[in-house]
Structure 1
Amino acid sequence: MTDNNVITFRKANSQDIDDIWKIIQQAIERRKKDGSTQWQNGYPNRQTIERDVEKDFAYVLLVDHQIAVYSALIINDEPAYSKIDGKWLSEGDFIVVHRVAVDNNFAGKGLVKILFEKIEEFAVSQKINSIKVDTNYDNMAMLKILESKGYTYCGEVMLADGMRKAFEKLII
């Protein structure tokens, strides 16, 4: 990445679905090559992405008008988060970050850190001061990013495909 790259964060639309699905497939393959069990059971699938777009959960980070990173942002709706083996930092409104995936052409360039900065700006714009996220125990890249961005480990949550480490960051 250079200072000349134009980075944009926006809600995804139906025209983005093919590009997003390609990025998700790349991420599934990367997780598999890393030896992870995360995303190896048919989730997320194309219908997941279509639902994200339909429900206005889908967001993309673009570099020079090309989709580089995908994420689903969901406000106040993650049933699995109601039962945590541990304790959340807050009990008010929150944004859940799910399905973060980076295009292979942009992997390793620090874009997920930029994505999380954009998500914080989005939270502020929505007057929400909590961002919650979970990840697999073996997703070292995401665990490092969450630590570097100031997320606090809160405990474990059970999702459909297994136990996840849960994190929260309060935006002040």
Structure 2
Amino acid sequence: MLSLRVATPADNERIDELFAQARAFMIAHGNPNQWQPGFPNAAMLQEAMAQKQAFVCLDDAVADPKEQIVGVFTLSFSEPAYDNLQGGKWHGPNDHYAVIHRMACASGHGAGTFIMKKMQEQYDHIRIDTHKDNVPMCSLLRKLGFQYCGTVFYDRPGGGERVAFDWVKAQ
């Protein structure tokens, strides 16, 4: 059974393993530019951990406790880059939304779908961005009802252009 909990510094080693696995997965699936070696890493999540905005997904069916962490992501409630959306529009309000970043999941557990569905249960408006070459993530987002909104830009390794999506709970 999958569950979520707040990430702690004790999770850092496994989080770095998940980020490395995600980078390898991206490269193998035609997305070599989104995450560069060492980016992201668990050290970057320390502030989010302190603010209880970094989470891990656990699979209690995994025998090895160290391997039970099968996903990681951060959750926040603003993103300055989203103020400069280009080539489209957001479908929900600009003053209140959840943002998911730095999601990485071990293959074969359904953690990505689980994480996104849990966030959809808890929040009325979610925004997320990814690299245009991240076809698996774009497909997951569309499958879960997220809509393409346009392009946002960051100053970061691997280039800063990202496709942006949002999801608004039906009223």
TM exceeding 0.5 = yes
Q: For 1:15 and 1:47, locate their aligned partners in 2 and report how far apart those are by CA, in whole Å.
A: 12
Partner of 2:26: 31
Question: Is 1:12–1:59's contact at 8 Å kept on the other side of the alignment?
Answer: yes
Question: Is 1:14–1:50's contact at 8 Å kept on the other side of the alignment?
Answer: yes
The one-letter amino acid of 1:54's match is: A
Q: For 2:36 and 2:2, locate their aligned partners in 1 and report how far apart those are by CA, in whole Å.
A: 30
Give me the TM-score of the superposition, normalised by structure 1. Answer: 0.84
Shift of 1:60: 1.3
The 5 A counterparts of 1:89-168 are: 89-90=91-92, 91-103=94-106, 107-123=107-123, 129-160=124-155, 161-168=159-166
The one-letter amino acid of 1:100's match is: M
The one-letter amino acid of 2:121's match is: E
Q: For 1:97 and 1:121, locate their aligned partners in 2 and report how far apart those are by CA, in whole Å.
A: 14
Where do 5+ consecutive residues of structure 1 fail to align?
Answer: 1-5, 124-128
Shift of 1:41: 5.7
Percent identical pairs in the alignment equals 32
The one-letter amino acid of 2:104's match is: A
Q: For 1:167 and 1:82, locate their aligned partners in 2 and report how far apart those are by CA, in whole Å.
A: 14
Question: Is 1:32–1:40's contact at 8 Å kept on the other side of the alignment?
Answer: no
> CA separation of 1:117/1:28 partners in 2, compared to 1, >3 Å: closer, same or farther?
same
Give me the TM-score of the superposition, normalised by structure 2. Answer: 0.85
The one-letter amino acid of 1:101's match is: A
Partner of 1:62: 58
Shift of 1:164: 0.7
Runs of 4+ off more than 3 Å: none
Count how many residue pairs are aligned between Structure 1 and Structure 2: 158
Give the root-mean-square deviation of aligned CA atoms. Answer: 1.7
Where do 5+ consecutive residues of structure 2 fail to align?
Answer: none
Q: For 2:24 and 2:48, locate their aligned partners in 1 and report how far apart those are by CA, in whole Å.
A: 21
> CA separation of 1:54/1:42 partners in 2, compared to 1, >3 Å: closer, same or farther?
same
